[in-house]
Amino acid sequence: MPTTFREAYERLLPLVEKPGRYLGNERGTIRKDPGTVRLRFALCFPEVYEIAQSHLGLQILYDV
């Protein structure tokens, strides 16, 4: 078991296949000032990023 953050990070890093999945900087991303937002929520999909983004149900929820 890793004892430091660095050890945990070094053990996890080789498992990353596509780092772009974790950036959250894709085209069309909307960033708002947290101080002006009254409601926060997250849409979660139990699949890899590439599959979740093309899922029609998730696209409908994004558009609502």
- Quote the tokens at residue 26: 């894709």
Are 33 and 6 within 8 A, CB to CB? no
Q: How far apart are CA 33 and CA 3, in angstroms?
A: 36
- 24-59 pLDDT, tens digit per residue, is 777 777 788 989 999 888 878 788 877 877 888 878
H helices of 1-64, in order, are 5-12, 49-53, 56-63
Q: How far apart are CA 55 and CA 58, in angstroms?
A: 6
pTM of the model: 0.41
